[in-house]
Structure 1
Amino acid sequence: MAATTATLWLTLSANTPISLSVTVRWLLLAVVILAIPLLYTSPHWQSAGLARWLGLVGGWVFYVSWMQYRPPYFARHWLFYAILLAAMFQALIALLQLTLPGTVPAWFDYPMKNGRPYGVFQQVNVLASFIASGLALALMLLLLPDFSLTQPKAERGRRYALGLVLVLFPALLVWLQSRIGWLGGGISGALLLWLGWRQAKKLTGIAIGLMLFGIAIALIFQINGGVETVEHAASNQARLMMLQDSLKMIVEKPWLGWGYGGFEYGFQHYRLAAGLSTLGFGVVRHPHNEILLWWVEGGMVTLAGMVILLCAGIRLFWLSWRKKGESLALAITLLPLLLHSQTEYPFILSSAHWAIFLLLLAQWDRQTDKAIECTTFSSVTPSFLRVVVPMASASMLIMASFGLYANLSLTAVERNHLANIQPARRAMEFDPWVNTERWHYDQQTHALLMYNQTRDPRLLENYTRWAQDYLARRIDKNVYASWLAIAQYQQDTATYRRLRQEAGALFPTDPRFLTDLPE
């Protein structure tokens, strides 16, 4: 995203006007408002809160940069096919994981989790919403006449390829058994079929037949034992409790919230104060709803920012509804990603979803709002932006590259059970921020391993200081267990009893927290 942003601004000619649509300006206002809670967030969480807000700012810059891009006429639709190709790539990996797991290349290193494929993502629902977005794009490209090719042979090949996608994607969504994938794919698919029926009834009928064929194949395969059925009852209960407890937290601190970046700590300790544990939940790091996440952490200020975002989206949708055609279709293709952000993982946990959402949003905005109330800056501002934005984007690209390198180094060290952390130490010299918390975690875990060899008491003292600071921000049963063992070894009875009580309440089934020191 940083590389694309820098490239777009560097390729703009000096006389190209820079314009912001009404939607862009409303989104900027929301972004500015969402920064206010950083002023009163606890220092423990400011770094995490600032990182998330900077991600929002970076997304806005990326979105605005893409708005300035004017593709040549022959390449005006290439972005949709590129996103669809990415979804197809994920679908093929998932199919290999599901049917022929031994054929997945070793360098992918993405085995199935609990018998369910997930492509290159870390969670099956993230893959499902990605596939649902691809399905919506395939329907849009097939059913709307604006995307047809003039050459009959090329158009026939294009339709055959899209028809294959309409068989494959619904079948895969059935096998993934992700309810948000079904919801996103079902709603967007139904709306696009309705839109297509108004313009091409025969082609729409064929599309419906192909999708039903894919679903039928998937159900037959699943009924015959090809895919194990997933039970969702426990997940339903957990989500309902997350929603209820998040709303209770909002009621308790409605104005200032619980602090940006502090949901993980605040949610678990709120439940702890009510005598509840992580049982059935695990450690909840987000409420599975993007709006709730910001509202809980930032209070009424962030709610105001979210309302502005929603109003900007509703306005854009109203304009699309009046125009119909490609503009309305683009609005519908965003639905799987929007629904995912309100029922599953926030955008911060999948940069691919965030990037594709912004790309489609920019295309939608350009199609819908391009002739309405656009504003052009003064002659000085474009020159300033052409210098500052590429420089900032290049800096972000460098930081992200070092972060990726450090991430890979840390992963290699962790897979080697932290036996030698020197490669990670060298990599972290170039990464001052991206992987800092993870690096400190690995350092302290390595220090415990070194203590078993050196018996240096300073290693234990350093660990307890770090653990105290870490557990003021995060909830981690392994850190609790290590600190508890140190307190027991040092015969620090008061610390041991306090930690055991807190850890036992948070993790009541963990045997490490079930015994107390003898009187």
Structure 2
Amino acid sequence: MKSRSLTQQAERGLLGLFILSLVWLPLPLGSNRQWPMALYVAVVWVLLALTGLLRLFGSERLPDRTAPVRTGSGWGAHLALSLLVLFTAWCAFQLSPWGYTEAPHDTRLMVLRSLGYVGMFWLVLLLVTSDRRRTALLSGMMIAGVVQAMIAIVLYSSDGRYTLMDEAFVQGLRATGTFAGPDALANYLLFALSAGVAVMLSQMGMQPAQARRRRHRLHGALEFMMSTKMIVRLMLIIMVIALVLTRSRLGNGAFFVALMLVTLWIVGRSPQLRRPAAILAASLLVIDLIVIGQWIGLSKVIERMHATELALKAEQEEAASAAASGASPPTAQRAPDMPQYREETLHERTRPLRDAMAMIEERPWTGFGAGAFYSAFTRYKVESTKFFYDHAHSDYVEIVTDTGLIGLSLLGALILLSAGRTVQLMKDRQGPHVRGVAAGCGMGIVCALLHATLDLNLQINANAAMLTVLLAVVWSAPGRHVPEPSQQPR
């Protein structure tokens, strides 16, 4: 028993280190540079190696009846991990004499990134073996999102200018946090919010039936105000504030669409989780959208959504006319030394997508090499523009141009398989913890699918890592009723 206790303590320590690495991951520009990405991959595989040694030498001496509960084992989890391994192998195959890539260096980096995601997925399946550990991991992801949100809010309020890792920042226009762009921060917050929703729903689902009785409502309300649920709720509010301050049209839209879809899904699938899910969704809409949204300027996000080419042309013509007549052109509501922000229209956002269609037609199955979009795109760019496109502004299109339909099929199968797992877990015969985890991770999957249509956020290492962890958490949850928490390893 002492050996078992030491093994469990060591595993909890490794899980804690993994959570700390998730908090650190977005700090150096979303780890979207070579050295932080390589450092993180090394950390993940060191933790995975230590976990393997613990399992090899620590649990061998334990009798079967005291072995840890491996809730993530099963053919589904192995298949999901195998799909990720196959995608990594396909990227590596493009570097071989039988493969093809136009940017070998970028393809090597993509292989290294993919190895990191494989290690993260595997590590979650090995370490997250109980409800307590699963809650700790999701809470760590939520805390990482709150840290980013607070950094973003403080920097946005500073209206400052600075340079970080050769990247110039002008704060006060749109919140960026420690990411290179506001849309990348918005996508990161979507995954952190999904983890927070999972924690919140799993806690709300644990309320006893007596608390719903009329005579216990006041006591239940006071208990809620003093519980960890209120702390989680405040964390969600902070992240929603930062999400609105990014002014990301697709990010904010994806959040509320995913929230509504998941709520409707819960209402139809889980009568026991129906009430807490409806309360959470209503509070997010009423408090965050109406009250806080109006306070911090949600109307500016809506204005961006309604921006059109015609309105921008009229603004440009007005400025040109004012300059010709000698009058001062209209300025934004910012200090004079702040650069004027030029809104990117839908036509400009989708321009690289339209040009990339020729790339897909030429090499539809194998692509031009993982990470090689920029190197190959220069030959296919039809319309000259002052905007710099190093990505396709659509994860779907860029995955196809880089790895072909083969790579998209492997990743798509992983997403669809994990989505099916969330549907399987959303049953009332499951415990409240499992149902809450399924709802939150399902929301994260929907957000990823929506935001990937017209953005490049999965090309950012920190964002892709958060999605990988959410997918792994889905497979770490037990597929059927498990013993009480007191009988599970901590």
**What TM-score bracket applies, with the shorter chain setting the length?**
0.5 to 0.7
| Residue of 342, 348, 368 corresponding to 1:258 | 368
Partner amino acid, structure 2, of 1:171 = I
Matched, 1:366 2:447: no
Deviation at 1:346, TM superposition (A): 4.7
* SS of 2:456 mapped into structure 1: coil
Q: Tell me the residue number matched to 1:292.
A: 397
* Structure 2 partner of 1:198: 274
Deviations 1:442-488 (A, max 9, x none): xxxxxxxxxxxxxxxxxxxxxxxxxxxxxxxxxxxxxxxxxxxxxxx
Contact 1:131–1:169, Cα closer than 8 Å, also in 2: yes
Residue of structure 1 aligned with 2:82, choices 18, 25, 28: 28
- 1:59 alignment partner in structure 2: 117
Q: Give the superposition deviation at 1:85.
A: 1.2
Matches within 5 A, 1:46-195: 46-71=104-129, 74-101=132-159, 111-113=169-171, 115-145=173-203, 156-194=226-264, 195=266
Q: Is the 8 A contact 2:103 2:371 kept in 1?
A: yes
For the 8 Å contact 1:30–1:308, the answer to whether it is kept is no
Partner residue, 1:305: 410
Q: Does 1:329 align with 2:386?
A: no
Contact 2:260 2:281 in 1 (8 A): no
What are the superposed Cα offsets for residues 183-225 of structure 1, whole Å, 9 maximum, x if unpaired? Answer: 2321232245443772235565444432232112123896996
Task: Report the TM-score, using the length of structure 2 for normalisation.
Answer: 0.63
Evaluate the alpha carbon distance shift between residue 8 and residue 214 of structure 1 in structure 2; reply closer, same or farther with a 3 A threshold.
farther
Distance 1:233 1:268 in 2: 24
Find the counterpart in structure 2 of residue 10 from structure 1.
53
- Partners of 1:80 and 1:248 lie apart in 2 by 41
Distance 2:364 2:345 in 1: 27
Change (3 A) 1:121 1:300: closer
1:94 Cα deviation after fit: 1.2
SS in 1 for 2:378: helix
Q: Any conservation in 1 of the 2:356–2:380 contact (CA below 8 Å)?
A: no
Please report how far the alpha carbon of residue 147 of structure 1 lies from its aligned counterpart in structure 2 after TM superposition.
Answer: 6.4
Structure 2 counterpart SS, 1:258: coil
Cα distance, 1:177 vs. partner?
0.8
In the TM superposition, what whole-angstrom CA distance separates every residue of 1:302-361 from its partner, at most 9, and x where no partner exists?
A: 3443443344234324424556543233221343344444432253433x2232222221
Kept after mapping to 2: 8 A contact 1:94/1:118: yes
Tell me how far apart the structure 2 counterparts of residues 82 and 362 of structure 1 sit (CA, whole Å): 15
* 1:306 to 1:67, Cα distance in 2 relative to 1, 3 A: closer
Change (3 A) 1:58 1:46: same
Distance 1:140 1:23, change over 3 A: closer
**Identical-residue share of aligned pairs (%):** 18
**How far has the Cα of 1:70 moved from its partner?**
4.0
Whole-angstrom distance in 1 between the partners of 2:281 and 2:404: 46
1:37 aligns with: 94
| Larger RCO, structures 1/2 (Cα 8 Å, 6+ apart) | 2
In structure 2, distance between residues paired with 1:125 and 1:106: 18
Specify whether residues 309 and 102 from structure 1 end up closer, same or farther in structure 2 by C-alpha distance, changes over 3 A only: closer
CA distance in 1, matches of 2:109, 2:164: 33
335-344 or 207-216, which moves further after superposition?
335-344
Determine helix, strand or coil for the equivalent of 1:68. helix
Q: Secondary structure at the match of 1:287?
A: coil
Deviations 1:83-119 (A, max 9, x none): 1111111111111112235699999x98435732311
CA contact (8 A) 1:136 1:185 kept: no
Give the Å deviation of 1:52: 0.6
Question: 1:52/1:317 Cα in 2 relative to 1: closer, same or farther (>3 Å)?
Answer: same
Q: Which moved more, 1:317-326 or 1:115-124?
A: 317-326
Alignment correspondent of 1:244? 354
Counterpart residue identity of residue 391, structure 2: H
Give the secondary-structure state (helix, strand or coil) at the position aligned to 2:477.
helix
What secondary structure, in the 3-state scheme, does the structure 1 residue paired with 2:174 have? coil
Query: Counterpart amino acid of 2:354?
Result: Q
Larger Rg: 1
Work out the number of aligned pairs and report it.
366
Paired residue for 2:387?
281
Q: Secondary structure at the match of 1:199?
A: helix
The separation in 2 between residues aligned to 1:176 and 1:316, in whole angstroms, is 32
Equivalent residues of 2:107, 2:371 under 8 A apart? yes
- 1:209 aligned partner: 286
TM-score under structure 1 length normalisation: 0.60
* DSSP-derived class of the 1:159 partner: helix
Which amino acid is the alignment partner of residue 281 of structure 1? F
The aligned amino acid for 2:406 is V
**What is the Cα deviation at residue 250 of structure 1?**
0.9
Match for 2:387: what amino acid?
Answer: F
Gaps of 5+ in 2: 1-43, 61-66, 209-219, 268-272, 304-331, 429-434, 483-490
> How far apart are the structure 2 equivalents of 1:143 and 1:131?
18
Structure 1 pair 289–139 and aligned structure 2 pair: CA distance change class (3 A): same
Change (3 A) 1:65 1:30: closer
Q: Aligned AA for 1:25?
A: L
Q: Distance in 2 between matches of 1:38 and 1:237?
A: 35
Counterpart contact for 1:262–1:297, Cα < 8 Å: yes
Q: SS state of the match for residue 254, structure 1? A: coil
Q: Distance in 1 between matches of 2:138 and 2:339?
A: 33
